[in-house]
Every structure is written in structure tokens, then in C-alpha cells.
Amino acid sequence: MNKLLGYITLALILVSCGNSGGQFRLEGHFKNLNQGEFYLYNLEEGTIDTITAKDGRFSYVSIIRDTVTYSLLFPNFSEVPIFATPGAKVKINGDVSHLKETEISGTKDNSLMTSFRLRTSDMMPPEVVSEAERLMLDKPGSPVAVYLLRRYFLLAPTPDYQKSFQLCDSLLKAQPTNIPLVRIHQQLKSLRHQQGSGRLPQFKAVSTKGDTITNRRMQSTVNVIYLWASWSYDSQNTLRQIRQLQKDNRDKVAVVSICVDAAPDEGRPMLERDSITWPNICDGKMWQSPLLAKFGMSTVCDNIVTDKSGNIVGRNLSSQDLRAKIEDMLK
């Protein structure tokens, strides 16, 4: 089976706990950098902030109520998670010539993630997965464990949903009030018995233009449901690729996109700029959207491909595999 999750961003690496509100401060220093910009995603709220670096140094301050995982996007588009807690001060030190060696410290979770990342940097993929599983079972109450679940199990080329469910179950026992983790657990509970087949469930939703969208929209040679966000470059690039394939094959490719932004208007400029006119759904409920639960979609870049009869022929494909699947079906 293909990917459950397309890469975000490492996106959806979110954790919540019951702390009171407080100031979170992030400070960074990168060698061999005069000035530049970084993007910091708050994936829980679907927002993005721009951080400006001068003389290689930058800082960021926010008020948060709970533990939140940010995703920091480097100039080369690689990302690292940052685990923020109220009242914490986190430091980033690195060299723009060796971003993989970037160290993030200031809290136990960030130090734990940095240690794991550096320790496994030269390992083969199977070894990294084994190390991730060991860390998850050793630290099931850490937000790092949730990140590792997503990164190394749900993002696997052929995800083992039963294995992922068992690991998620262990984490949930240690983090019973973690809402994002509860959601993952619910979705994996059904996905563990699924393969990449079946039929597209009956659905009804309203697009950002006010049109009612149902299964009747998905009766072309190729039909794609794609999950995206205005703060995810990867998802936007894939939308453009799908748009080009649709343009080259008129009336043969039907697309419905689902945006997980907090407000319907946030993604509109991008759609208009790239002349994307297919139905786009954004109910403002982000990851609590009932439509995502119905489709079993849990992160940005998730997708479902069906034939004209509504049979699912691909699910959670990588960008490359999604394009190949569409092209193959059009032959």
C-alpha cells in the first residue's frame, strides 16, 4: 500500500496538554548566514509566521496555552519540529552549510529530538525505524513520540496500519487528553483493517464558492480528492501538478480539494493565482472536520484516487506516485 501521508511538511506533529498560558521564546543563531527569512508553522492553528534573521541571529515570541509543535522551514525547504511549552525558552544553533546538524535545546523534548536526529543521521532506514519505536515506547508521554509515530510509521512507503495502531494505542494511554492523538487513534482504528481499495464513501459538502459537492462530481476517468493548506508548499506544488494534468486532459480528470486552513479565504489567493477552479472545501474546522474523518484523511498532502465507478484505486500516494497513477489511468 502507498503512503498514508504526503510529506509536510512534517506536518501534523501536534501535541496538547493541560498547561496554563505563558510566553514561549525561541532564539536562534546560524553560522555563515548574514540575513535571511525562516517560516514557522503552528500546525494546530493553521498559521504561519515569518522570522527574519540578521547577522545570523533571530528571535520569536508567542503566548501559548498548551504544548504545541511548530515546524521550522529552512531556506532549503528542509524542516525540523520544535516542541514549545508555555514559559519555555528554546535555542537553535547551527550552520547553514550543515543544516542536518542543527541542534535545538532548552527543553527535555527538544533535546530528546535533537539527540535522536543526530544519533540516527547515518543509520539505514530500517535502523532508524527501530530506534524510533524504542524511543516511542520508552517515552510514550512525550510529544516527540507522536512526531515519530507520524514521521516513521504513518509516512512509511508501505505503512503498517495495524502496527501503527498498536503504537498509537500505547501513546494514548500515556496521553489520554491529547486531542490530535485521539483523532489519529480513531482513524487508525478503521484504517488498520483497510487496504488501498474499497469504494469512496457517500459525502456531501459545500465549497468555498457555495456549491454543494457530492459523489456525483467524481465520475470522470480519474477522480482525485486532495488535502492541502495555504502554509504547505509541498501541497501547493502538487495542486499545480494536478492542475496541469487536468488542463492537458480535459473532462477526464475531476478534482475536489479540501483545505484545512482556519478560514476559507486564506487559500483563495493561491487558487486564483494558479487558475485552479475545481471545487475547494474549507469549513474552518481544520482537523476536526467531519469530512476528514469520513475519508480517513489525517494530514496535509493526503489524497484519494478513484475510477469513474467510485472504486478507490489509490490512497495516500506520494506526489510522484500520485502523478504516475493519474497518468497511468489516462492511458
- Give 92-99's long-range contacts (Cβ < 8 A, gap of 24+): 92/26, 92/27, 92/28, 92/29, 92/30, 93/28, 93/29, 93/30, 94/28, 94/29, 94/30, 94/31, 95/30, 95/31, 95/32, 96/30, 96/31, 96/32, 96/33, 97/31, 97/32, 99/74
- Cα–Cα distance, 326 to 216 (Å, whole number): 19
**Cα 116 to chain centroid, rounded:** 20
Q: What are the cell numbers at 114?
A: 535533537
Q: Which single residue is written with the C-alpha cell 515506547?
A: 137
pLDDT for the residue numbered 157: 64
* pTM of the predicted structure, to 2 decimals: 0.62
pLDDT for the residue numbered 14: 39
Q: How is residue 199 annotated by DSSP?
A: B
Neighbouring C-beta atoms of residue 251, cutoff 10 Å: 8
Q: Residue 323: in which H helix or E strand, if any? A: helix 319-330
pLDDT for the residue numbered 19: 40
Q: Closest by alpha carbon to 232, among 318, 299, 282?
A: 299
- Cα–Cα distance, 118 to 134 (Å, whole number): 16
Which residues neighbour 1 within 8 Å (Cβ) at sequence distance 6 or greater? 158, 159, 195, 196, 315, 316
- Cα–Cα distance, 138 to 74 (Å, whole number): 30
Residues 206-220 as b/e (b if ≥16 CB within 10 A, e otherwise) read ebbeeeebebebbeb
Strands 47-54 and 35-42, sheet pairing: antiparallel
- Cα–Cα distance, 287 to 276 (Å, whole number): 23
Asked if 43 and 69 touch (Cβ cutoff 8 Å), the reply is yes
Instruction: Burial-class residue 146 by CB neighbours within 10 Å (0-12, 13-18, 19+).
Output: buried
Identity of residue 136: M
Asked if 149 and 136 touch (Cβ cutoff 8 Å), the reply is yes
Q: What are the cell numbers at 275?
A: 487558475
| pLDDT tens for each residue of the chain, 331 residues long | 433 433 333 334 333 333 445 899 999 999 988 888 888 887 666 677 888 999 989 999 999 888 888 888 876 667 788 999 999 999 999 888 888 888 999 999 999 999 999 999 889 989 999 999 999 999 999 999 998 998 888 767 667 888 899 999 999 999 999 888 888 888 787 676 555 557 888 899 999 999 999 999 999 999 999 999 888 888 899 999 999 999 999 889 999 999 988 888 888 898 999 999 999 999 988 877 888 878 878 778 889 999 999 999 988 888 889 999 999 999 8
Helices (H), 62-203: 108-119, 125-138, 143-149, 161-174, 179-191
pLDDT for the residue numbered 110: 96
Identity of residue 61: V
